[in-house]
Amino acid sequence: MIDFENADFLKLKAVDNSTYEERLSPMFAPEEEIIASFRTVRDGVVFTNRRVITINVQGITGKKTDYSSLPYKKIQAFSVETSGVFDLDSELELWFSSLGRVRFEFTAGADVREICAVISEYAL
């Protein structure tokens, strides 16, 4: 489970959605599909049309993995900081009812507009 006291996912780089599709599709609800996929060195974050799934690879070998599902309908507020001229990273912060804040920092070139549009659909 995500540690909501330190819930930061830093330097997420966009990857092809097929990277996590095979692993996650058995957990999907009917008609759920991946919108965008990102990864750090070991961990990953997948945004579907219904929720955020965080993938936390654990241990030295990386065989143990924790999957956390954060449904959009539990989002109370969100904030987006887009990239600029000198600061190329963008950030997305989500506040979940009864859980807390999760912060995602994306590397240059990540387009968070589509993710925000889907979150808006469920959270507003």
CATH of domain 8-123: 2.30.29.50
Give the model's pLDDT for residue 122. 82
Give the model's pLDDT for residue 118. 87
Kindly report, residue by residue over 76-105, the tens digit of the pLDDT.
999 988 766 555 678 899 999 888 889 998
Give the model's pLDDT for residue 19. 94
The token pair that represents 57 in the structure block: 């690879």
Residue ranges of domains in the chain? 8-123
> Got the DSSP string for 17-85?
THHHHHHHGGGPPTT--EEEEEE-SS-EEEEESSEEEEEEEETTT--EEEEEEEEGGGEEEEEEE---S
Kindly report, residue by residue over 26-64, the tens digit of the pLDDT.
999 999 999 999 998 888 999 999 999 999 888 777 788
Tell me what the mean pLDDT of segment 94-119 comes to.
86
Query: Measuring CA to CA, which residue among 92, 104, 102 is closest to residue 39?
Result: 104
